[in-house]
Amino acid sequence: MLKAEFNSHILNFKTPGGTSRGVLTQKPSWFIKVWDDNQPSIKGVGEISVLPKLSPDDRPDIEDKIGEVCTSINDYRNGFHEKLLNWPAIRFGLETALMDLKQGGKQTLFHTNFTKGKSGIPINGLIWMGTKESMEQQIREKLNAGFNCLKMKIGAIDFEEEYRLLENLRKTFSAKTLEIRVDANGAFKPGKAPEILTRLAGLEIHSIEQPIKAGQWQEMAALCETSPLPVALDEELIGVTSLAEKKKLIQTIRPAYIILKPSLVGGFKASEEWIKLAEEHRSGWWITSALESNIGLNAIAQWTSSLNNPMPQGLGTGQVFSNNIDNGLYIKNGMLWFKNQSGI
């Protein structure tokens, strides 16, 4: 018989993180622990990570639901993918906790060169929205740290300021030297987006994430069809749970890329459904963390390493917290590395 328990952990940002949805100073997570009653010393750990105002799990009754899952863990252990369709963060946390338990409770879920410490995962350096000066400082820090792919949040300050910042960056570093991605988090209006995308394409930007708000499939499809700049879907995938609806979305919008955040789309199994559909329709993809602590980030990174996608992934956000959990993850020369050690 399995048993389970959970505890909450509020993550504090070292520096407030600016997005088009507001500024973040804290972010909630819960850790779910699962064990076999016959071997109580071996526990699998998973993280339930919620982004305020974005995660479907961002609900007042989330702790009640986690408690229900823990109390009825033997009912949820099989079939939880279906039972937790509308709770993607809980689904991801339980999925990874059960995987960890199966592998001996050492937070080594996959056996790859990454988990053996033999290879790192190339990642993008994330530039948070803020004042022009703060964004310039972040860019300098990332470049000095060896990143050759930057992802810049845009859409919060005046676009002309953001454009000049990107323009100056491109004058210094060619597209061959530095890959630049931008993430609008749905900040632009459909009528204004084509002009903005055309201007960004002139700077040889790699791609733009979610230029307009999610839920506008026809407008997004028109952008993807006509834009000189590749469009990547991010928030658009959240809440799309059935295989039929996922297929309909991909076929309708036909994006250049999709970006998968396991905490927001329901874990690894759900993400692999998206990957299969994307590849069938010739869309690229990469994996991004969603402000998990190092517990969730570790699980996502290990899974990502098993997929053998050579593109820079979005897995560097664990650095932003002052009270993160040290579990062997570290960044060196623009790559995420893993040094195996015992968990929490």
Catalytic residues: 153, 261
CA distances from 252 to 246, 248, 255 (A): 10, 6, 9
CA distance 88 to 274: 14
State how beta strands 121-122 and 2-19 pair: unpaired
CA distance 161 to 157: 7
CA distance 117 to 339: 6
Q: Strand, coil or helix: what is 51?
A: coil
Q: Which tokens in the block code for residue 25?
A: 């100073």
CA distance 256 to 229: 9
Q: Which tokens in the block code for residue 309?
A: 């996608």
